[in-house]
Amino acid sequence: MRADELIEVVRAYEEAYNRHDSKAVNQLYAPDARFHIEGIMAIEGKQALIGRTDYDIELHTHIHVNPVSTRDNRLQAHVTESNEWLREIGIGTAKYEAEFEVIDGKIKSIIAKPVPTTRDAIVRVLNDFSQWGLNNRPSEARILMPEGKIIFNAHNARLGLIILREWKAERE
């Protein structure tokens, strides 16, 4: 794949994400697409990614992709992400080194490696927040994470944010 074609697909993804156009975002995923944030989460399959898109849109997520290099069908990039959840936990903007794999004009995979400060902050909050949720809001925690993993959808984004704000208020 030519570098300009690869960049065009990733730019279309970035622009659709920032417009909160779920249909356009989801059309860019291959049927067997996967999204991994190393050490934090792994999502497999287009259907699960559709839920992730809805989750991110509900949280008003914005991303910025700064391409670094391309090779074959892969684009390496610096990615920044901001949303309500990240602002609530005090990160504001998360930073990643990411690789986008594009095949036949569709995103096959996104693998993001958080920079250490982002990774450490997210893991610390997730561990503390998850335990607090299980102890203080067990029925809601079972909705958000029925098997210990977050179920991504718009409803869970709203519910998670409400519970996160309660957790945060209790800690202040």
pLDDT digits (tens, 9 = 90+) for 4-63: 899 999 999 999 999 999 999 999 999 999 999 998 899 999 999 999 999 999 999 999
Q: Tokens 């519910």 — which residue? A: 159
Give dist(CA 79, CA 130) in Å, integer. Answer: 26
Q: Which amino acid is at 55?
A: Y
First to last CA, the chain: 51
Give dist(CA 89, CA 59) in Å, integer. Answer: 13
Domain ranges of the chain: 3-171
Question: Residue 172's pLDDT band (boundaries 50, 70, 90)?
Answer: confident
pTM for this predicted structure: 0.92
Q: Which helix (H) or strand (E) holds 27?
A: helix 22-27
Share of the chain above pLDDT 90, in %: 81
Give dist(CA 152, CA 45) in Å, integer. Answer: 13
To the question of domain 3-171 being in CATH 3.40.50.300, the answer is no
DSSP state of 137: -
